[in-house]
Amino acid sequence: SSLRDRLPVQAPTLFEAKAAKNLTFEDIAKQLGRNEVAVAAIFYGQAQTTSEDAEKLADILGVDKSKLGMQLAGYPFRGQVMDMPPKEPLIYRLYEIVQNYGYAYKAILNEKFGDGIMSAISFSTKVEKETDKDGNNWAIITLRGKWLPFSRF
């Protein structure tokens, strides 16, 4: 199914208001007190909002509070938006990093932490921009997850 069909109900409300107000995710994030990746994730239905978040968002974007509140109520159905493997080139590059370096990450993480995983739930992430002395831009994505050792049973 098309991306449009897979977007959550709040997506059109949020994206249209953001475009109308000419706000960046960074602007919204600052006012909301959350990270800009989390804000974009809310737009795409991949992160939860508290009812306080929902109210603030409605204020920031100038949309109807009760309508947005209802759209954001409940628990996200994460992962529905993306068809894997990703066809979008930007997102594919991240997928390719997992494909190419996955076993290397596992080897290093096991060596450093033992038998377990880096949580994707007790987890945060951020995106930064760096410009080197030659004027090249670099994107830096940081993934920070709690280490969960496998239980012994």
Q: How far apart are the first and last CA of the chain?
A: 42
Cβ 39 to a copy of itself shortest distance, Å? 8
Q: Looking at beta carbons only, is 67 or 144 nearer to a copy of itself? A: 144
Q: Which residue has the tokens 């410009």?
A: 131
Cβ 20 to a copy of itself shortest distance, Å? 11
Q: How far apart are CA 113 and CA 99, in angstroms?
A: 22
Q: How far apart are CA 129 and CA 136, in angstroms?
A: 10
Q: Looking at beta carbons only, is 21 or 97 nearer to a copy of itself? A: 97
Q: Which of 51, 66, 119, 124 is catalytic?
A: 119
Cβ 11 to a copy of itself shortest distance, Å? 10
Q: Known catalytic residue: 119?
A: yes
Q: Looking at beta carbons only, is 100 or 133 nearer to a copy of itself? A: 100
Q: Known catalytic residue: 96?
A: yes
Q: Cβ neighbours of residue 48 under 8 Å, at least 6 residues apart?
A: 42, 75, 76
* Cβ-contact 60, 30 below 8 angstroms: no
Catalytic positions: 93, 96, 119
